[in-house]
Chain A
Amino acid sequence: MKDRKLVEQKLMHAGKRRRWQQSWMGLWKGFFWGALLWLTTLIVFKLFPVPFEVLAWSGVAWVTMTIIGPARSLFKPVDLGETAQWVDDQCELKERFTAALEFQERETWGNIILKDAKHFIEQVKPRNLVCFKLPSAAKWSVFVLAVSVGLGFAPEYRTEAYTEKEREEAIIKNTGKQLVTFIRQEIKKRPPALKPTESAMADVAELGTQLSKGKLERGNALRELAKVTEKLKKEHTSLDRKPALKRMQKAARTPAESASPKNLNAMQKRMDSLKQQMGENATSSSDLQEMQRKLDQLKQTASGLQSPEGGMNEALKQSLTQQLGEMAQKAAQTGISTEQLEAALANLTSGDLEKFLKHLGDAQIDMEKTAQMSSELQNLQMQMDQIGKNLAEQLEKGQATFARQNLIDKSNKLTSGQLSEEELQKMLKELQNAIPEAADYGIVQDFLKKASKQMQQGDEAGAAKSLQTAADELENLMDQFGDMQSLMASLENLATAKMSVGNGMSWGQSSKPGFKPGGKPGKGVGTWGEEGGTWQNKLPQQAADNSGVTRPEVAGKGPTDRGEGELVDGLTSTKIKGQFDSSAPMPSITLKGLSIKGQSRVEFTESVTAAQADAQSALSQQRVPRAYQTTVRDYFDELGP
C-alpha cells in the first residue's frame, strides 16, 4: 500500500510538471501554427484581392491558437497511466511504472512489480525530466515572423481594374454614410412637418444605408439616386409653387435672416451698448478706416525719426507733431478715445521715442476696436432696418416669424381687453393694410379679413381668436418652409452623392467641385471661369447693403409659370443627316467642368438612364430655357441603345 502511494505520488508530481511543460510546448506550437496561418494569409493577401477582413480574422485565429495551444494541456487532468508510460519512456524504466499501476491489484505479482518500481523512484526527477527550453517551434516562429515582417513592406499586387472597383465601393460606402449622417442631422434640426417630406427623407436615409452597406453597385446606385432625387424634386416643386413659401425664401436671403422675435431685444440692447461705447458722434466705418490708414502712415514715418547722429530729426518731429495733433483733434470730434494719441503726442514732444511708438501702437489697437464696433453696429442696424415695422411689411417681406409673433401679440392684447379705442383703431388699420399683402398666404388672409370685420363689429374676442388662427396657419406655412429647406438641402446632398458615385470622386471633392481659392485648376478642358482662381480671393469682408438698389430696367428672370415655350420659326429643330468626313477635323466643343480621365466603365444604359433623369430634373426645375425644352426632351427621350 505504501509502495503504491509512493509510486502514485511520484507519478502525480511528474504528471503535473509535465502538464506545465506540455502547456509551454503547446504555447509555442499554437504560436507557430498561428504565425504560419498568418503568413499564408498574408501571402495570399499580397498576391490576390482578398478582403482585409480575412487578414484580420487570420490575426484573430493566430491569437486564438496561441491561447488554445497551452490551454489544452493546462486544463487537462493528469492521467497516471499516461504519465507512467511517459516516465517509463523518458527514464528507460522498461515499463516498470506502467506495469506497477496496471497490475497493482494482482496479489503476488502486483506487490513484486510495485516493489520493483519503488526501487526506481529515485531515478525519476521531474525537474530534470521536464526542462523548459525553447522548442524548435519557437525558432521556426521567429523565422515565420521575420518573413511576415519582410513581407509587410512588400506592396500588394492588385490589378488596376480591382483597385478602381475597390475605390468605387469605398466611395459608394462613404457617400452612403454621408447621406445618412446628413439626413439624421437634418431631421434633428428640422423635423419634417409633412408626411410626404417625411417619406422622402426616409427614402434618402434608406438609400444612404444601402449605399453605406455596399449593397448597391455603381450603376444601381446611380439609378436609385436618380429615383430618390426625382421624388424629392417633385415634393420640392409642389412646395416651391406656394407663393407664401417663395416670399419666405426671399426673406431667408436677406441680412435679417438670422433675426427672430426672440433675439430682437438682445439685438437692440447690443446696439444700444455699442452706441454708448462709441458715443453719440459715432463715426462711420469708412472714416475710421481712413483714420486707421493715416495712423499706419504716421507709424511708418515715425520709424525714420531717429537721426544717424543719435538725436531726433527735428523737421520730421515737427511734421509728426502737427499731424498727430490734427488726428487727435479729429478723433475727439468723432468721439473716439484720444487718450493714447495725446500720450503719444506728449512723448513725442518730450523726445521719448520708445514711449511715443508704444502709445502710437496702443492708439492703433484702440482705433481697430472702434472700427470693429462700428462695423458691428452697422450690421445690426442693417438687420433691424430689414425687419418689417408692421404686419403688412412683415408679410410683404416674407418675415413669417415676425408676422406670427405680431399676430399673437395682437391676439393677446385683444383678449386682455385693455386696449383703448385709439389703439383698437390703430390695430384695425394695421390689419386692414396687411390684408392685401396676405393674399399669398392662403387662409391667413381670410382670417385677417374676418378679424378685421369682427373688430369693426366690436367682437374683440372673436377677432383675437381669428388672429390666433391666422398665426397658427403662419406657423404651418413656416413648417412647410422648413420642409422645403430640408428638401433643398437633401437635393443638394443627393446631387453631391450622384457626382461622387458617378465620377468616382470623394464626397469632399464632389461637394466643392472645382478648385479652391488660390489653388490651381486640374488638367483637362478649360473652364469658362477665370482659371487663376483670383476672382475668388477677394471675398467681401463685410456684408454690403445693396437692398436699396432698384433696377427697374431689368425684369425678373426667375422661373415662371408661363406654360411650355415654343420655338420661334427660325429655331425649329432639325436632324442633320450625313456622314463624318474622316479627313476633316472632328467637331469639338470646350465645356466648362471637371476633367474626367480614364476609360469609362459605366454601362451605356446606365449613363443614358442617369442622363435622362438629370434632363428630366433640369426640365422640371425649369433650368432649361423654355424655347429649348421640347428639343431637349425629345433628344433625351430618343436616347437609347
Chain B
Amino acid sequence: MSIEEKIGLFREDYNRLKSEIGKVIVGHEDIVDGTLIAVFAGGHVLLEGVPGLGKTLLVRTLSQALNLSFNRIQFTPDLMPADILGTNLVVETQEGRKVFEFQKGPIFAHLVLADEINRATPKTQSAMLEAMQEKSVTAGGEIRKLASPFFVLATQNPIDQEGTYPLPEAQLDRFFFKLVVTYPSGDELTEVINRTTDGRKIEVTEILDGNKICEYQELVRQVPVPKHVRDYAVRLILATHPQTETAEDITNQYLRFGSSPRGAQTLILAAKARALTEGRFNVSFDDIQQSILPALRHRLIPNFEAEAEGITTDHVLHEIEAKVDRQAGVSTRS
C-alpha cells in the first residue's frame, strides 16, 4: 500500500472514529480532536474540567470505538501504587505449592482511564510515571511491558481542591496534551438532553484495533516538517524559557519555568498528526499553532506574580504566540 493510500485510509478511519464518538459526545470537537490526535501521536491526555462535562464518557466512548482493552482507575486518596500496577500474591498451585504470582493491576490495558487523578496522593500518582513514559512496569524486581498501544487518559477536577493533590511537574510533563473541557453551548446542551433522556441506547461501533493504531502512529511520525516550521516550533519553546535571551517579556514576568524538550516533541508530533487529519502531507504553521495550548499549557510553571494576578499559562502562551514571528527573517508582507 502506498503512502498516499495509507494516508487516505487514515483520514477515512479518523473521520469515522470521530463520527462514532460524535454519536455519544455532543460538541467538544476540539477535545475529541485533541484526544484522537494524542492517540495517533502515541501520547497521554489529561482532561481537565468541572464534573459532568463528559470527560469520562469521552474516554469510555473512545475505548468502545477502538477495539482495545480498557481499564478504569478511580483515583482516591487511599489508592496505593500496587492498586494500579499490580502486586505479587501468594497463590497455591495445583500441586499444592505456594508461590508468588504477579497479579496485574488495571494499568495493564491498552486504554487506561485515570479518573480524577489528582485525588490520589503523589506517591500513587508517581506510580504512573514509568508506565506512561517507558510503557512498562517494574514490580518485584521484574520489568513488565505494557500492551501496545498504551494510552492513559486522565481526568481531573479543577474546583474540588479539598483532598486533592496537584500533579507533580514530572507527571504533568508526561501528558502529551492537557485538554480543558468547557461548558457546552446552548444548542449542544439541548442536544445532550435530547440524547440522554429519551431512553435511546446508542451503540458505538468498533473502528480501529491496536495494530492499526500502531501503524498509524508510525505513519504520523513520517510526515515531513519544513525547516522553517520546525524553527518556529523551536522558537516558541525557547520563548517560554524565562530569563534567557530568547524569552519574551511576558515569560520573564509571569513564568518560573518554561517548557521541557518534551514540549517541542509534542508540538511537532501533534502538528504532524493534525496535518494528516486534514489530508495534508506536510506540517504547516497552523498545525503548530493549533497545538500550542494543549501541548504546552501544563508544561509551563507560572510564578507567584502570575498566580496573584490570575494570569494563566494559556494567557502567557497566547501572548508568546502573538509575539513570535512565524517567518523570522523572511519578508512575507506584500
Residues of A at under 8 Å CB distance from B? 18, 21-22, 82, 85-86, 88-90, 94-96, 98-99, 102-103, 106, 108-109, 112-113, 116, 129-131
Q: B283: CB under 8 A from chain A?
A: yes
Q: Are A96 and B280 closer than 8 Å at their CB atoms?
A: yes
Q: A89-B327, A106-B224, A113-B224 are in contact. Are A21 and B282 (CB under 8 A)?
A: no
Residues of B contacting A18 in the complex (Cβ-Cβ under 8 angstroms): 334
Which 10 residue pairs spanning A and B have beta carbons closest together? A99-B282, A94-B284, A89-B332, A95-B284, A98-B226, A99-B226, A103-B224, A112-B281, A113-B281, A86-B332
The 0/1 profile, CB within 8 Å of A marked 1, for residues 266-293 of chain B is 0000000001001011111111000000
Contact of B3 among A21, A88, A95, A109 (CB under 8 A): A109
Q: Are A109 and B334 closer than 8 Å at their CB atoms?
A: no
State the CA gap A332–B90 with chains docked (Å). 173
Q: B228: CB under 8 A from chain A?
A: yes
Q: B227: CB under 8 A from chain A?
A: yes
Q: A85-B228, A109-B224 are in contact. Are A90 and B334 (CB under 8 A)?
A: yes
For A112, give the chain B residue with the smallest CB separation.
B281
Residues of B contacting A112 in the complex (Cβ-Cβ under 8 angstroms): 3-4, 7, 281
Which residues of chain B from 277 to 320 have a CB within 8 Å of any chain A CB? 278, 280-287
Which residues of chain B from 1 to 25 have a CB within 8 Å of any chain A CB? 2-4, 7
Q: B331: CB under 8 A from chain A?
A: yes
Q: Are A95 and B229 closer than 8 Å at their CB atoms?
A: yes
For B225, give the chain A residue with the smallest CB separation.
A99
Q: Are A108 and B3 closer than 8 Å at their CB atoms?
A: yes
For B4, give the chain A residue with the smallest CB separation.
A112
Residue of B2, B227, B334 with most partner-chain A CB within 10 A: B334
For B283, give the chain A residue with the smallest CB separation.
A95
Q: Are A109 and B222 closer than 8 Å at their CB atoms?
A: yes
Contact of A95 among B2, B7, B278, B285 (CB under 8 A): B285
State the CA gap A103–B283 with chains docked (Å). 12
For A22, give the chain B residue with the smallest CB separation.
B331
Contact of A86 among B224, B229, B278, B330 (CB under 8 A): B330
State the CA gap A94–B226 with chains docked (Å). 11
Q: Are A85 and B280 closer than 8 Å at their CB atoms?
A: no
For B275, give the chain A residue with the smallest CB separation.
A94
Smallest beta-carbon distance A139→chain B, Å: 17
For B222, give the chain A residue with the smallest CB separation.
A109
Residue of A22, A88, A99, A112 with most partner-chain B CB within 10 A: A99
For B327, give the chain A residue with the smallest CB separation.
A85
Residue of A22, A96, A98 with most partner-chain B CB within 10 A: A98
Q: Are B281 and A94 closer than 8 Å at their CB atoms?
A: no
Residues of B contacting A99 in the complex (Cβ-Cβ under 8 angstroms): 224, 226, 281-283
Q: Is the interface of B mostly helix, strand, loop or mixed?
A: loop
Smallest beta-carbon distance B279→chain A, Å: 9
Q: Are B330 and A109 closer than 8 Å at their CB atoms?
A: no
Q: Are A102 and B286 closer than 8 Å at their CB atoms?
A: no
15 contacts between A and B (CB under 8 A): A82-B331, A85-B330, A89-B326, A89-B332, A90-B334, A94-B278, A94-B280, A95-B229, A95-B285, A98-B229, A99-B283, A108-B2, A109-B223, A109-B281, A116-B280
Residues of A contacting B226 in the complex (Cβ-Cβ under 8 angstroms): 95, 98-99, 102-103
State the CA gap A615–B190 with chains docked (Å). 116
State the CA gap A535–B286 with chains docked (Å). 99
Residues of A contacting B327 in the complex (Cβ-Cβ under 8 angstroms): 85, 89
Residues of A contacting B229 in the complex (Cβ-Cβ under 8 angstroms): 95, 98
Residues of A contacting B283 in the complex (Cβ-Cβ under 8 angstroms): 95, 99
State the CA gap A408–B309 with chains docked (Å). 117
For B2, give the chain A residue with the smallest CB separation.
A108
Residue of A85, A88, A108 with most partner-chain B CB within 10 A: A85
Smallest beta-carbon distance A200→chain B, Å: 69
Q: Are B282 and A96 closer than 8 Å at their CB atoms?
A: yes
Q: Known pairs A94-B280, A98-B228. 4 more at Cβ < 8 A?
A: A99-B224, A103-B226, A112-B4, A129-B334
Residues of A contacting B227 in the complex (Cβ-Cβ under 8 angstroms): 102
Smallest beta-carbon distance A514→chain B, Å: 71
For A90, give the chain B residue with the smallest CB separation.
B334
Smallest beta-carbon distance B169→chain A, Å: 33
Q: Are A86 and B331 closer than 8 Å at their CB atoms?
A: yes
Smallest beta-carbon distance A82→chain B, Å: 6
Q: A102-B226, A112-B3 are in contact. Are A21 and B334 (CB under 8 A)?
A: yes
The 0/1 profile, CB within 8 Å of A marked 1, for residues 142-161 of chain B is 00000000000000000000
State the CA gap A82–B228 with chains docked (Å). 10
Which residues of chain B from 215 to 235 have a CB within 8 Å of any chain A CB? 222-224, 226-229
State the CA gap A21–B332 with chains docked (Å). 12
For B229, give the chain A residue with the smallest CB separation.
A95
Which residues of chain B from 234 to 278 have a CB within 8 Å of any chain A CB? 275, 278
Residue of B283, B284, B287 with most partner-chain A CB within 10 A: B284
Smallest beta-carbon distance B270→chain A, Å: 15
Smallest beta-carbon distance B10→chain A, Å: 13
Residues of A contacting B223 in the complex (Cβ-Cβ under 8 angstroms): 109
Smallest beta-carbon distance A509→chain B, Å: 62
State the CA gap A102–B226 with chains docked (Å). 7
Residues of B contacting A90 in the complex (Cβ-Cβ under 8 angstroms): 332, 334
Residues of A contacting B7 in the complex (Cβ-Cβ under 8 angstroms): 112
State the CA gap A359–B334 with chains docked (Å). 89
Q: Are B334 and A94 closer than 8 Å at their CB atoms?
A: no
Smallest beta-carbon distance B303→chain A, Å: 35
Residues of A contacting B286 in the complex (Cβ-Cβ under 8 angstroms): 94
Residues of B contacting A103 in the complex (Cβ-Cβ under 8 angstroms): 224, 226, 282
Smallest beta-carbon distance A87→chain B, Å: 9
Residues of B contacting A98 in the complex (Cβ-Cβ under 8 angstroms): 226, 228-229
Residues of B contacting A106 in the complex (Cβ-Cβ under 8 angstroms): 224
State the CA gap A82–B332 with chains docked (Å). 9
Q: Are A116 and B281 closer than 8 Å at their CB atoms?
A: yes
Residues of B contacting A21 in the complex (Cβ-Cβ under 8 angstroms): 334
For B7, give the chain A residue with the smallest CB separation.
A112
Q: Are A113 and B228 closer than 8 Å at their CB atoms?
A: no
State the CA gap A98–B223 with chains docked (Å). 14
Residues of B contacting A85 in the complex (Cβ-Cβ under 8 angstroms): 228, 327, 330, 332
Q: A99-B281, A99-B282 are in contact. Are A130 and B334 (CB under 8 A)?
A: yes
Residues of B contacting A22 in the complex (Cβ-Cβ under 8 angstroms): 331
Smallest beta-carbon distance B230→chain A, Å: 10
For A73, give the chain B residue with the smallest CB separation.
B331
For B284, give the chain A residue with the smallest CB separation.
A94
State the CA gap A113–B283 with chains docked (Å). 11
State the CA gap A130–B331 with chains docked (Å). 14
Residues of A contacting B275 in the complex (Cβ-Cβ under 8 angstroms): 94
For A100, give the chain B residue with the smallest CB separation.
B282
State the CA gap A102–B326 with chains docked (Å). 17
Residues of B contacting A102 in the complex (Cβ-Cβ under 8 angstroms): 224, 226-227
Smallest beta-carbon distance B268→chain A, Å: 13
Residues of A contacting B2 in the complex (Cβ-Cβ under 8 angstroms): 108
State the CA gap A22–B331 with chains docked (Å). 10
